Amino acid sequence: MDRSDIIYNLAEILGCEAVKDEPLSRHTTFKIGGKADTYVKVTSASKLSAILRECRESDVDYMIIGNGSNLLASDDGYRGVVIRLDGDFRKIALVDEDTVYCGAGATLAALCKFAQSSGLSGLEFAWGIPGTVGGAVFMNAGAYGGEMKDVVYSVNHLTPEGETGRTEKEDLAFGYRTSVYRTNKAIITGVTLKLKKDNPDDIRARMDDYLGRRSSKQPLDFPSAGSVFKRPEGAYAGALIEQCGLKGHSHGGAQVSEKHAGFIINRQNATAHDVKSLIREVQTKVFDETGYNLECELIIL
């Protein structure tokens, strides 16, 4: 029996949806990626703990994905188990009048809607970011002057050994597109957020404003993984790329967006190889012509 089959069988016993040889192109916003040996939707902390324990004991590689919105999956797929947090991990609830608890598998869109309808402000900047809450905390997602670090109070997690834990705000080590979870290997399971009371209509107006700006500037009509490069100190990646004449430049089916040069889009059946080749071409030309070293912010699987 293949080692990943052990996880597949355990998932079925636990009542979790499991699929063999699942194309990762179905689970990434780039619409790119070969097959994962096993894809599992895990619905509770106890089931996640059991699967992590079995992965460790059976020496099976695993990775957690959210919406796949910051992920470039290999054309060769993934030799192991891809886990998506579902069920209990998508629940959102008020803790008190200005505090929300949200499962890591919930989308940012669902959390933003919940906060707005509850008259809670602070998450408007996240409206339109296509990730999950866990992924947003993991990378300290931000836009329009706001970041997750501004609203996160504490984070619940499971260690690779399947033990529960919690990290308070002061220990989250938030930085530009990073957090302590980039290095501690724990899996974010839920997030407590502190927000501010406000008028729901005013909150909605700000959300609509941000979404309008996003739609006018970003290539939302093509598959992509959002902004490809981190913002270099003292400059903007998109402006540097455009300055080097790379707007619209393509490699295979991947293209530097003609709408926003900071994005690479899947223009026509792009492969991960196309995207990685285009990233290297952009990095090389920008460095040669400007001296700036563009750091990729995508997670490359």
The correct answer on CATH 3.30.43.10 for the domain covering 3-88 is yes
Place of tokens 């690479």: 264
C-alpha to C-alpha distances, 189 to 103, 162, 205, 268, nearest whole angstrom: 6, 11, 31, 35
CB 33 within 8 A of CB 77: yes
Residue 271 pLDDT greater than 80, yes or no: yes
pLDDT for 162 equals 82
Residues of the chain with CATH 3.90.78.10: 219-300
Burial 69-98 (b: 16+ CB within 10 A, else e): bbbbbbbebbebbbbbbbbbbbebeeeeeb
Identify the CATH assignment for 219-300 out of 3.90.1170.50, 3.40.1650.10, 3.90.78.10, 3.40.50.970.
Answer: 3.90.78.10
Residue 192: band (very low, low, confident or very high) from pLDDT cuts 50, 70, 90: very high
Q: Residues 6 or more apart from 22 whose CB is under 8 A from it?
A: 35, 36, 38, 39, 82
Residues of the chain with CATH 3.30.43.10: 3-88
What backbone phi and psi angles, to 5 degrees, belong to 220?
Answer: -75, -5
* Range 95-100, long-range pairs (CB < 8 A, 24+ positions): 95/192, 97/197, 98/194, 98/195, 98/196, 98/197, 99/153, 99/192, 99/193, 99/194, 99/195, 100/192, 100/193, 100/195
Query: For residue range 33-86, what is the model confidence (pLDDT) as tens digits?
Result: 999 999 999 999 999 999 999 999 999 999 999 999 999 999 999 999 999 999
Q: At what angle do helices 3-14 and 45-58 cross, to 10 degrees?
A: 160
Burial 194-224 (b: 16+ CB within 10 A, else e): bbeebeeeebeebbeebeeeeeeebbbebbb
Distance CA 25, CA 47 (A): 25
Query: For residue range 78-127, what is the model confidence (pLDDT) as tens digits?
Result: 999 999 999 999 999 999 999 999 999 999 999 999 999 999 999 999 99
Residue 165 pLDDT greater than 90, yes or no: yes
Size of the chain, expressed as the number of residues it contains: 301
CB 267 within 8 A of CB 224: no
Architecture of the structural domain at 91-215: 2-Layer Sandwich (3.30)
Report the catalytic residues: 177, 227, 297
Residues of the chain with CATH 3.30.465.10: 91-215
Six-digit token pair at 30?
């780039």
Q: Select from 116, 122, 123, 33 the least CA-distant residue to 69.
A: 33
Burial 139-159 (b: 16+ CB within 10 A, else e): bbbbbeebbbbbbbbbbbbbe
pLDDT for 3 equals 76
Name which residue leads in pLDDT, 5 or 284: 284
Burial 277-299 (b: 16+ CB within 10 A, else e): ebbeebbebbeeebebebebbbb
Residue 1: band (very low, low, confident or very high) from pLDDT cuts 50, 70, 90: low
